[in-house]
Structure 1
Amino acid sequence: MRDFHIPGRSAVHATHAMAATSMPIATMTAIDILRRGGNAMDAAIAACAMLAVVEPQSTGIGGDCFCLYAPGGRGEVVAMNGSGRAPAGGTPERLRADGLTAMVNTSAHSVTVPGAISAWVKLNATHGKLSLAEILEPAARVAEEGHPVHARVAHDWASSVRKLSLQEATARHFLKDGKPYGVGEIFRQPALGRTLRAIGQHGAKAFYEGEIAADMVAALQAAGGSHTEADFAAGADVAEFVTPIQTRWRGLDVFQCPPNGSGLLVLSMLGVLGGFETPEAGPLSTQRLHRHVETARLAYRDRDAFLADPSQVDVPVARLTSAEYADALRKLIRDDVAMKEMPEAGTADWARHKDTVYLCVVDADGNVCSFINSLFEGFGSGILAEKSGVMLQNRGFGFRLQEGHPNCIAPNKRPMHTIIPGMVVKDGRAIMPYGVMGGHFQPMGQTMFLSNHFEFGMDVQAALDFPRLFPYGGKVQVERGIPSSVVDQLSRMGHECTLIDKPHGGGQAIFIDHERGVLVGGSDPRKDGCALGY
């Protein structure tokens, strides 16, 4: 039970169905779809489309998508990889000829062909009940009519002015006299509304072929990209159902999407952390936070060395998530001092923080959906296809321009991906769809959340509220909620701690209490959203 003297929010309880997203109107959209006869998948896609309109810095139809789905709440979890591929002309030679020595976040060469729409269409056709047109109509209407900018959206918008100023079309539509949209100002995207309706009526073909695709290709080529309409036509079928990966942790089965996503880091970290005794001093103890930081340093070291597109290189998932490997990593962690150096596993490359949306839905039939969609960094590449209203992602910024590296850019290759939906199953039944946004913070955020809830007994809202820290760029970035005494102790152990202005990520979760027949939802206060149920 939380302390009601302290500002905060309680977990949401319901018995029939529930949705949790990072914007109130998106959560309401999901609930409306459920009440109109849609299922969890329909509601998730509808909510995500709405977020593409009202949280444009974080997500969009020009981005990518991953999904975990448990039909009927069974433990047979379905995984969808909706990440796009580099264009056929995306070679290291082409990038170097254009003067690049590394991937650039605002370069057209960092734009992969978007995979989200391919994923939405396949998920709807396979698991949905309502038509795509009905699902996308609420977002299309809001895009045309406009929506007031919320506080966190405005905060992120203000930090992206430079990027939004680089392209004339982007500046015309996303800035007002060179300034960002502020809290409460109405933002309209009529071109995006038309594109959403076209997709609803004609499916993936409307996006990947014809006028909309030609508009995206023209914008990319004008910005120096090698993209062709043939690249986009091939992207219509890029999304694919894949076999999820999983691990056993504290009597629970935790599921993730396989590479090229970063879900294997969650499984690796849980393997290491699960071998420690729960710290008696509690979740905010120096011992707990130190162990988590050290575990993350090791896991992210392995990510930077091995994680890539498994269709083009070998990714040693089984080894990196094995109990034997977890035991070996755990032995490297001391409770009294931070590691000064780690055993070699590859070149470290600490990328900048990114923006993403995560949402989850549980319906009355027990279907459970864990859904994530992203442009990668704030407003993606900053390249807007003006006629279609599509802001294009910069997922290719996750590539390397290092010959011989598993994640080096190559034609038709998927980059290392950060977005990872999560699902927890117990005794053959799904008990929690969950996710934590925040680019490469996500494995750290997910493992902290799971530990907060299942190990330390917090409810889902308290587990999301809990203060966070993250090893980044050789330092440990701490939120202001970490006590100064703990920060001081971490510093004395050898961690270089620094306070951050922007909090780590944001998340949603729904716990399914099968014994009592109750759904318990939470939504991260670091975003503008909420959980609702009925």
Structure 2
Amino acid sequence: MSSDFMKFKSRRSTVYSSKGIVASTQPLANNAGLIILNKGGNCVDAAIAVAAALCLTEPQSTGIGGDCFALYYKNDTKEVLGLNGCGRAAKNLSIQDVWDALNDGQPMARIPQDSIFSVVVPGAIGGWYDSYKQWGSGKVTFEEILQPAIDLAENGYPVCELAARGWRNSKKKILKQNPEMDPKDIPVLINGEGPNEGDFVTNEPIAEALKLIASKGKSGYYEGSVAEAIIKRTDSKGHKMTLEDLSTHTSTFVEPIKFEFQEKTIWEIPPNGQGLVALVALGVIQELHKSGVIDLYKIEHNSFEYWHLVIECCKIGFYEGNDSIADPEFEQIPVEKILSSEYLQQRSKLFSKNKVLSGKDFGVPIPDPKFKTDTTYFTVSDSNGDACSFINSVYEGFGSGIVVPEYGFCLHNRGANFNLTPGATNCLEGGKRPYHTIIPSMITNKDGSLYASFGNMGGYMQPVGHVLHVLNMVIFGHTPQQSIDSPRVCLEADVTCPDTGLGGDGPVSTTRTFVLLEDGIDPKVVQQLTELGHATKVLTDYDRQTFGRAQIIKNVSKGGKLVYAGGSEIRGDGAAIAL
């Protein structure tokens, strides 16, 4: 790729359609969604088809061994509905089990990301099927929805540039995690290697899994031969996951959490998702505006003042997340109190125009993203005025890297998000869901109409990305593509400090936060941030994938005529495609 990769002169224009848009990181996945829309399916049906196709075309980021979350905007009732498709820890697994197996019985703070104990029940297939049954159009079958992905797996497809690069970067991990297998027999590799751009690949084992799921629904995954293959693999590495853990898995339809921001409503999946982080950050920004500390409508976009505001308010949001994001079936989470004006106004007092917040100001450190960008976010709209905001992930590149060879997929490592501090928020417990980074989002207008369906994958980049896209569109009037093209920041903890074992995964016991800035931010602004006390680092070229990949569909209807505007990530292979 040329040295001017992803320069901030947009390579794309915003896409418009009155019938629907599919926006994802892979062109062939977009095509799968369009096939289903053309068959009469709705945005949910098409989103599932996109999810399945991405498991083939971008397997380092997502797969049938991972999790999913979704938001669905239903135009006829002006509702935003939510689904948590996250899996749970093995019921028989305890913190002591992990200590015994990995550390001679002695305490340790986290489950290593390459440990078999990082594998929790994969929730994606349950999420696909349950959203299809609950929200689908009824005009296409589940078999039809999965057929485009099955065709890709059986007949093959050429690999795009950035997908190929991420795939190759995971080769070492996959070989390390499957030492008992001949590299040429590992189905997620091609003759023991990762593909190059344009290479033509197939994956017949995963085609067989998808056929079983297509014909039997979620029971084709959580029972029978696929489930048995999963447990055979986890048993071989000493896990305590059982067939019962799989067969009793359930998705959860949830009431999304929301926050009123400048006459718009921002919607997120509730904990154990980290959408609360984004809403707290936006809430603090709004309180600072209300109190006159800042003026949202006078602050210059991408200025020093703007970036300092975003960075500091996101820190405050992450602090709340460390304290409050966990499985609500195990923890009492006072979301309403946290998002109240009174509480947010109190939190806003932590902000200073002339000072940088550090972990010691909170008592609990800020999460570390560790460059976790292996997730796929995508969004679909349809001719009904409905939209689906969908995210599917295996967490790290190819998840745990542990392959289920009979069916050609890797198991995710989402359990690494737990901590191993007994009694702490988000500590590991049997049957519990971990702190989850993947978050789809929606924005609605005061009258309940859709404003935008959007997301920005990338581990702990995600809530920061959500804050940026809300500000870009709502305050600065950006089109979807302009918002996506705009440079970003990401927060990263100082990993030289020891892990406290609190909150989400990654070393979080730091008293300072590194600020990663994307090439395209004015060097004078970078200097000002550094002089104030921010520990800054500018990322260029391929390293800019640290800032995740966004997709946005905005409702720009006028005069009673339905019109969508779509934007897609210049840091990814895909596009926004109009029906």
| TM-score, normalised relative to structure 1 | 0.96
Contact 1:87-1:112 within 8 A present in 2 as well:
yes
1:141-190, CA deviations, whole angstroms, 9 ceiling, x for partnerless residues?
10112221211112212322321111144942334565422111122110
2:361 partner amino acid: P
Counterpart among 185, 188, 195 of residue 209 in structure 2: 195
Give the 5 Å matches for 1:323-402: 323-354=341-372, 355-402=374-421
Contact 1:247-1:254 within 8 A present in 2 as well:
yes
Segments of structure 2 that go 5 or more residues without pairing to the other structure are 1-6, 290-294, 494-512
Asked if 1:455 is matched to 2:480, the reply is no
2:80 partner amino acid: V
Counterpart among 35, 45, 57 of residue 60 in structure 2: 57
Aligned to 2:254: 242
1:362-418, CA deviations, whole angstroms, 9 ceiling, x for partnerless residues?
111112111111101111000111102231111101000111211111100000001
Contact 2:10-2:570 within 8 A present in 1 as well:
no
Contact 1:279-1:285 within 8 A present in 2 as well:
no
1:105-132, CA deviations, whole angstroms, 9 ceiling, x for partnerless residues?
1111001101111111111111212111
1:357 partner amino acid: T
SS in 1 for 2:239: coil
Question: What displacement does 1:232 show?
Answer: 1.0
Question: What is the alpha-carbon distance in structure 2 between the residues aligned to residue 268 and residue 24 of structure 1?
Answer: 34
Contact 1:216-1:390 within 8 A present in 2 as well:
no
Aligned to 2:456: 436
1:43-87, CA deviations, whole angstroms, 9 ceiling, x for partnerless residues?
000011001111101111111111111223643111101100001
Question: What displacement does 1:340 show?
Answer: 4.2
Aligned to 1:222: 236
Question: What is the alpha-carbon distance in structure 1 between the residues aligned to residue 228 and residue 221 of structure 2?
Answer: 9
SS in 1 for 2:89: coil
Asked if 1:72 is matched to 2:70, the reply is no
Question: What displacement does 1:6 show?
Answer: 4.2
Aligned to 1:152: 162
SS in 2 for 1:31: helix
2:457 partner amino acid: M
SS in 2 for 1:497: strand
Counterpart among 120, 123, 145 of residue 112 in structure 1: 120
Question: What is the alpha-carbon distance in structure 1 between the residues aligned to residue 96 and residue 570 of structure 2?
Answer: 45
Aligned to 1:211: 225
Counterpart among 425, 437, 443 of residue 418 in structure 1: 437
Counterpart among 456, 466, 469 of residue 486 in structure 2: 466
Aligned to 1:520: 565
Q: How many residues align?
A: 529
RMSD: 1.8
**Structure-2 change in CA distance of 1:267 and 1:76 (3 Å):** same
Question: What displacement does 1:5 show?
Answer: 11
Task: Judge which range, 336-345 or 424-433, deviates more.
Answer: 336-345
Counterpart among 20, 28, 36 of residue 33 in structure 1: 36
Contact 2:556-2:564 within 8 A present in 1 as well:
yes
Question: What displacement does 1:226 show?
Answer: 1.2
Question: What is the alpha-carbon distance in structure 1 between the residues aligned to residue 10 and residue 334 of structure 2?
Answer: 45
Contact 2:65-2:409 within 8 A present in 1 as well:
yes
Question: What displacement does 1:486 show?
Answer: 0.8
Task: Judge which range, 121-130 or 407-416, deviates more.
Answer: 121-130
1:176-219, CA deviations, whole angstroms, 9 ceiling, x for partnerless residues?
56542211112211010111111010111110011110101111
Aligned to 1:256: 268
**Structure-2 change in CA distance of 1:279 and 1:77 (3 Å):** closer
Question: What is the alpha-carbon distance in structure 1 between the residues aligned to residue 259 and residue 182 of structure 2?
Answer: 43
Segments of structure 1 that go 5 or more residues without pairing to the other structure are none
Contact 2:188-2:203 within 8 A present in 1 as well:
no
Question: What is the alpha-carbon distance in structure 1 between the residues aligned to residue 44 and residue 521 of structure 2?
Answer: 37
Aligned to 2:510: none
Question: What is the alpha-carbon distance in structure 1 between the residues aligned to residue 436 and residue 395 of structure 2?
Answer: 9
Aligned to 1:285: 303
Contact 1:246-1:255 within 8 A present in 2 as well:
yes
Aligned to 2:521: 482
Contact 1:380-1:391 within 8 A present in 2 as well:
yes
Contact 1:476-1:496 within 8 A present in 2 as well:
yes
Question: What displacement does 1:329 show?
Answer: 2.0
Counterpart among 285, 291, 295 of residue 273 in structure 1: 285
2:279 partner amino acid: L
**Deviant stretches of 4+, over 6 Å:** none
SS in 1 for 2:147: helix
**Structure-2 change in CA distance of 1:210 and 1:257 (3 Å):** same
2:214 partner amino acid: G
